[in-house]
Structure 1
Amino acid sequence: MTRPLLALSLLCAVGAAAQNPLITDQFTADPTARVFGDRVYVYPSHDVNCGTDWFCMKDYHAFSSEDLVTWTDHGEILHQDDVPWVDASQNAMWAPDAVEKDGRYYFYFPAIGDSTTDARGRRIGVATASAPGGPFTPEPMPMEGVGGIDPNVLIDDDGQAYLYWSGRGLSGARLSDDMMSLASEPVRLDASFPEGFKEGPFVFKRDGTYYFTFPHVIHETEALAYATGPSPLGPFTYRGVFMEEHASGCWTNHHSFVERDGQWLLFYHHNDLSPDFDKNRSIRADSVFFNPNGTIQKVTPTHRGVGLVDAREPIQVDRYSHTSGAGVNVSFLDPDDPHEGWSVALAQNGAWVQFDAVDVGAAPPASVRLRVRSESGGTVKVRVGRDGAYTTADIELDAGDGWRTVEAPIENVPTGVRDVWVSLRSDGMVEVDWVRFE
């Protein structure tokens, strides 16, 4: 998946055809997603390399998207060096959250306090801004009465806000009208939950039920689990796991839920761009569905993710929805620079990948282009359609070294939202970076 050039402006479009992970030009983790206006904003933590084998996070960026495909980087919204009470040597700007109240945006973040203040240890700070993309101005001191990490805020239907956090258990309390101080004593909320390390609470309300969700180490790494209750502060009844531990062994997961146009989405992270070092993570999104009784259906992580992809932009088929399995291999375009993305190799006659939900639009394209590499040469078939309406194009590739772009005519492409298949119809091997219709 080739990375597009960044626009030379304060706001940069990144990962213009990205699926999962959503952001490919930097490491991101712990995403909190919020809908502000007509855009989805995501506030992740920012993994960077500090020459150690542990997490290192110094600042925060905000990202937003209208279509869940093209993401805008609003740049750095807060840096640890700008927060008076933070011990910057700790590089501990972990999982944040952001909410809006009365036209003001409140950004909550954890850090370790500077020894020159009374804020030693893990504390939670607040910063404010007049726009969701920041930049945010931090308060000079952390919140009183809160010791921990992973802040999350729920604003209930009556306007009352609640703060949740982790640290020696999962806790919650009412927030004052100023959104910066507690209006009640903290309450321990997870005492009845199963044993095992827990962190990263995220609470949301759906159909009158409050969902208390959190990462939970059940075996060796973090699964995502939840409980439900009748009020923002419980009591909560444990319901089980809605995302299993990552099969790759990535130790952490951290998430949020958001509803957009009637569809619930789960934002979470994995170590897609750093498979050998799980302290450099990347954020993802997948759809969430609920059973009639309100329980959460299991979410299976995908490469495809969410959002309609424009057929006239590069379609990253290495982020496929379905595959034949045999003869399909995904690898980095450049192993020395994983931020360049991936390609998919079709290495067996009949091997195929399918990429769902491509927006062809109202006017059918006349040609299809592929960025490919094949030392052996071969025949690639591109198929477009859905619901019984399909068209195909066969592309004959000569043997050759290096990446090249090939083009072939395609007729009678069905318009609207369709699926795309790419398959190998010969012996040999063909690597595909992207497909685009014109």
Structure 2
Amino acid sequence: MNSNKLKTIQDFKKCAALIVSMLWFNCLMAQNPLIQNQFTADPSARVFNGKVYLYPSHDIPATPGHGKAGWFCMQDYHVFSSPNLTDWTDHGVIVSQNTVPWADSTAYSMWAPDCIERAGKYYFYFPATVKSGSPKGFSVGVAIANKPYGPFVPQPLPIAGIHGIDPNVQIDKDGQAYIYWAQGNLYGAKLRANMLELASEPVKLEGFPDKGLKEGPYLFERNGIYYMTYPHVADKIERLEYAMATSPLGPFKYAGVVMDESASGCWTNHQSVIEFKNQWYLFYHNDDLSPDFDKNRAVRADSLFFNEDGTIRKVIPTLRGVGVTASSGKIQVDRFSATSTDGVAVTFLDTLNKFKGWKATLSKTNSWIKYNSVSFGKKTVGRVYVNACSATGGTLLISTDDEPGKIITKLIIPKGNEWHIVTKTGLSMPVGVRNLIVQSIGGGPVEVDWISFK
């Protein structure tokens, strides 16, 4: 083979590897939190063209001269999309504090946004602090695109008459658009058809607790009932509450709690609610990826259900989250559905780089982890790969929870302090969607990063 041809092949391989790397970076396969390679918060979820689009704010660590140390620091917005609530694609930055003509490009205060579609155009609403010389505080701007992932073009001026944060926009069944925001209390107004101007005077929304911070309004409608959801500091940190009404601007009547205060102590929460493929979902955030600093947050999602009278059942946060996981992908069993509790621990793989995710440790014989909704497809024979580590050596039993349970394999994890991908071939595979169980049945503690079937 001549040298020029060899060089061409080598260049091709390098290019192919780069493309694969880029695709892997942009295709984020996650449970809770949904996005695990960057901080995200304040999720606004929308269903456009059969996909879920996620418009969160983007937390970044403050550095000298860039944001306020110890406080929220956000300079831009990304948008993510998913066809199945499991595989998320990052479409990159859509709006930045440097691209908004009226915004202070040194404020790092691009807080909770929203997006909505009207007549084939997508309107992205976001709060930002105005440049010096303008009225102080936050205003709400709009950026417009022809596709849900952009490119978005920020308008030259913010919406006149709105001074506040956390915009939320809904279009009622009669075509009238409404915008909501927070400024100590919750406010709302009608929007003109151009989606850029108020069509009515702002009104303070009634029916909410008088005491404690209220922000992040998010309205949705179901069976003629309008639900206003919002974070509220009833004690020391925020919980998610809701009120109900028969019209978009109320009056609302307080109805209860959607989600209790975070068990981790994360000071904020922020929510959106969508229906996707006949199931309702709550999107929210927590400090999963930054447990020691709750100003760097991570977006989550869990299923939401209603009672017969239309009230909302309280949502209990889970690590497993939502969506069906393909058995051929990396099944992150540390995002479990249930465990034996005794003998199971979840810790970061790398405490210096928490974006690498977590590992599950099964430290006692018969300790187990259950991971729901794994799609095995129709292949009846295959192999398993387990990324594991065991200083003493151990044995894992991998099965499903069918009645009676189907044992897929027993897998010996070799003794050593290094991570190994342990594999076994010729397995009788389950078919369809099954709940996976991983159990320690002998030897010492076993650490498991992920499992995959081919």
The alpha carbon displacement at 1:58 in A equals 0.2
- Residue 93 of structure 1 corresponds to 110
1:115 aligns with 2:137: no
Q: Is the 8 A contact 1:349 1:425 kept in 2?
A: yes
Segments of structure 1 that go 5 or more residues without pairing to the other structure are none
SS in 1 for 2:35: coil
Structure 2 Cα separation of the partners of residues 410 and 287 of structure 1: 36
Matches within 5 A, 1:25-424: 25-51=37-63, 52-116=69-133, 118-190=134-206, 192-388=208-404, 390-409=406-425, 411-424=427-440
The code of the aligned residue for 1:325 comes to: T
How many residues get paired?
433
Structure 2 Cα separation of the partners of residues 6 and 274 of structure 1: 30
Structure 1 Cα separation of the partners of residues 403 and 395 of structure 2: 26
* Residue-by-residue CA offset, 1:39-70 (whole Å, 9 max, x unaligned): 10000000001131000000000000001111
Structure 2 Cα separation of the partners of residues 434 and 364 of structure 1: 21
Q: Is the 8 A contact 2:111 2:165 kept in 1?
A: yes
Moved more, 309-318 or 408-417: 408-417
Structure 1 Cα separation of the partners of residues 189 and 230 of structure 2: 17
Q: Is the 8 A contact 2:207 2:253 kept in 1?
A: no
Structure 2 Cα separation of the partners of residues 355 and 419 of structure 1: 6
SS in 2 for 1:339: helix
- Aligned CA distance change for structure 1 residues 424 and 8 (closer, same or farther; 3 Å): closer
- Aligned CA distance change for structure 1 residues 201 and 5 (closer, same or farther; 3 Å): farther
Segments of structure 2 that go 5 or more residues without pairing to the other structure are 1-16, 64-68
The alpha carbon displacement at 1:88 in A equals 1.8
- Residue 31 of structure 2 corresponds to 19
* Residue-by-residue CA offset, 1:60-88 (whole Å, 9 max, x unaligned): 00000001111000000010011111112
Q: Is the 8 A contact 1:211 1:226 kept in 2?
A: yes
Structure 1 Cα separation of the partners of residues 403 and 182 of structure 2: 48
Q: Is the 8 A contact 1:385 1:391 kept in 2?
A: no
The alpha carbon displacement at 1:15 in A equals 2.5
Q: Please tell me whether Structure 1 or Structure 2 has the larger radius of gyration of its CA atoms.
A: 2
- Residue 437 of structure 1 corresponds to 453
Aligned-pair identity (%): 50
Q: Is the 8 A contact 1:393 1:409 kept in 2?
A: no
* Residue-by-residue CA offset, 1:246-279 (whole Å, 9 max, x unaligned): 0111000001001001100111000100000000
The alpha carbon displacement at 1:205 in A equals 0.2
- With CA pairs under 8 Å and 6+ residues apart, which has the higher RCO, 1 or 2? 1
- Residue 9 of structure 2 corresponds to none
The alpha carbon displacement at 1:99 in A equals 0.2
- Aligned CA distance change for structure 1 residues 340 and 135 (closer, same or farther; 3 Å): same
* Residue-by-residue CA offset, 1:341-365 (whole Å, 9 max, x unaligned): 0110000111100000000111224
Q: Is the 8 A contact 2:221 2:227 kept in 1?
A: yes
Structure 1 Cα separation of the partners of residues 436 and 426 of structure 2: 13
- Aligned CA distance change for structure 1 residues 338 and 303 (closer, same or farther; 3 Å): same
Q: Is the 8 A contact 1:69 1:306 kept in 2?
A: yes
Structure 2 Cα separation of the partners of residues 257 and 65 of structure 1: 16
TM-score calculated relative to the size of structure 2: 0.93
SS in 2 for 1:174: strand
- Aligned CA distance change for structure 1 residues 313 and 415 (closer, same or farther; 3 Å): same
* Residue-by-residue CA offset, 1:384-431 (whole Å, 9 max, x unaligned): 243446233111222112100111246433211001011111141100
